[in-house]
Structure 1
């Protein structure tokens, strides 16, 4: 009888996606979506989705062994397992973007939430170029700037060292 109960519980968890869609299970290459709005960075605020899903705004670039270790640049968003000093883990998140995608950005980089949206009034910026294999601050032209908290209307260059790629945007 106990075996049947455990089997039913496991089957239910798998069928509802509870067993494998949490940020705790995420690793490099997995795509994520934010469950909420604002600048929350705890893992409960994210879930794993298929990278081709329209809402898949982030891709995990790195998984670090401490929730207080920094991702290296202010281009990465992040999700942490804990706010306690040194415990847990941190996911470093790059945008999961292709040319033509539009995003609504709340607050700014790196703690603000980005979500894929239809291009239009709710969009903060549109992706104009994605360059795989390099992370270059100069790849998007002389007018592009690195993300500055709360000024996302200018052309941006998002240079990610791991894995190396650069995303260029323009304000909408």
Structure 2
């Protein structure tokens, strides 16, 4: 064989090896997506699954409260929304989700009971609920006393969100 054919064969072999390594990495990280998600990460749910967003982004409706390494697991006691393996990126995991809400945030849509129906908006518009108080470190409905509001309580991590209705 000539030197040119030998170099071409070596180059082709390297391309095939690198392509195989790349494919393995893509498959691994697609299947292990939930392991990359951690407590405190902000996400949104779409028809395509879980999308990781910056916590200050308007569309980041959820914050990951707990990642459980089982698809059929239950979230801790509290008012969590959750998502499990039906989305391929989660593999065999359950994500326990709480609203990504800061004091003063306003949301429109739904009745306030399902976060997936809510969209963060400016408070100068027609809002459905406003976050009146966020208490980190305590899970206690009694912390929310507004007559036109309701509480959402989470035990892991402990937090109480007090929502107000217009």
* TM-score normalized by the length of structure 2: 0.69
Q: How do 1:32-43 residues align onto structure 2 when only pairs under 5 Å count?
A: 32-36=43-47
Q: Which residue of 2 aligns with 1:132?
A: 136
- Equivalent in 23, 31, 39 of residue 28 of structure 1: 39
| Count of paired positions | 145
More helix by share: 2
Tell me if the contact between 2:151 and 2:163 (Cα under 8 Å) persists in the aligned partners. Answer: yes
CA–CA separation in structure 2 for the residues paired with 1:47 and 1:55:
10
Tell me if the contact between 2:106 and 2:120 (Cα under 8 Å) persists in the aligned partners. Answer: yes
Q: RMSD of the TM alignment (CA)?
A: 3.3
* TM-score normalized by the length of structure 1: 0.67
Q: Which residue of 2 aligns with 1:71?
A: 75
Q: CA-to-partner distance for each residue in 1:91-131, whole Å, 9 max, x for gaps?
A: 0001111111112354664574333222322x321101111
Q: Structure 1 142/127 Cα, relative in aligned 2: closer, same or farther at 3 Å?
A: closer
Q: How do 1:23-172 residues align onto structure 2 when only pairs under 5 Å count?
A: 25-36=36-47, 44-73=48-77, 75-82=79-86, 88-106=92-110, 109=113, 112-119=116-123, 120-121=125-126, 123-141=127-145, 143=147, 154-172=148-166
Deviating beyond 4 angstroms after TM superposition, the runs of 4 or more aligned structure 1 residues are: 3-10
Note the residue ranges of structure 1 that are not aligned, 5 or more in a row. 37-43, 144-153
Q: How far is the alpha carbon of 1:60 from its aligned partner?
A: 0.4
CA–CA separation in structure 2 for the residues paired with 1:58 and 1:111:
8
CA–CA separation in structure 2 for the residues paired with 1:24 and 1:108:
29
Note the residue ranges of structure 2 that are not aligned, 5 or more in a row. 1-14
